[in-house]
Amino acid sequence: MSDPHVPPLSADISELIAGEWHEIDTRYWKLLLALRVSMFNRMDEYLHGKPFPPQQPIAVTNILRDYSRELFYSAANKYPTGPELNARVSELRQQIVEKIVKVTGPNLRGTLTYHASIEDVTKAILLELNSDIQSYLRSRVLPSSPQVL
């Protein structure tokens, strides 16, 4: 946690979350790999008279929203309820957005930005996470506790 007022999670919880995130990453990266488009492949297809693949912004955005939701709940459900819960989930939201942006951008196997821009992906992920956070906090925080993000 970057907030100095929020105690870090125990090593056991952190390790459990990291293991679950790895499993989630493995599943979603397989789905996303099929949608990655590299400039090299596009040029090769063009030179060989093949059409470019269709853009699939809805498919990519839906997968990334599901991915962010799973990451969120796998971590947040292990957080202790207490006064630092809002700060924890706010930081978790930022970690997930950064992770999804990295996954969306270019790597050796191509990019997902052929389908949806980083800005569009970020907006979709934030909408999803903000909704998930509100639902999560309503279910975890006592009614008398403030729920400020």
Contacts of 147 by beta carbon, 8 Å cutoff, 6+ apart? 86, 134, 137, 138, 141
Judge contact between 21 and 73, C-beta under 8 A.
no
Looking at residue 101, the DSSP 8-state letter turns out to be: H
- Report in angstroms the alpha-carbon separations of 91 from 2, 16, 100, 102, 143: 8, 18, 14, 17, 22
Q: What is the pLDDT of residue 43?
A: 64
Q: Which is it for the CA torsion 98, 100, 101, 106, positive or negative?
A: positive
Q: What is the pLDDT of residue 51?
A: 79
Q: What is the pLDDT of residue 1?
A: 45
Judge contact between 93 and 129, C-beta under 8 A.
yes
- Structure tokens that stand for 37 in this block: 């488009």
**Predicted confidence pLDDT, tens digits, the chain (149 residues):** 456 666 788 999 999 999 999 999 999 999 999 899 887 666 666 677 777 788 999 999 999 999 999 999 999 999 988 888 999 999 999 999 999 999 998 877 788 998 999 999 999 999 999 999 999 999 986 555 555 55
Q: What is the pLDDT of residue 37?
A: 87
- Report in angstroms the alpha-carbon separations of 4 from 68, 92, 103: 25, 15, 28
Q: What is the pLDDT of residue 82?
A: 84
Judge contact between 75 and 92, C-beta under 8 A.
yes
- Indicate the domain borders of the chain: 11-140
Q: How far apart are CA 27 and CA 112, in angstroms?
A: 16
H helices within the chain, ranges in order?
11-33, 39-47, 57-76, 85-104, 118-140
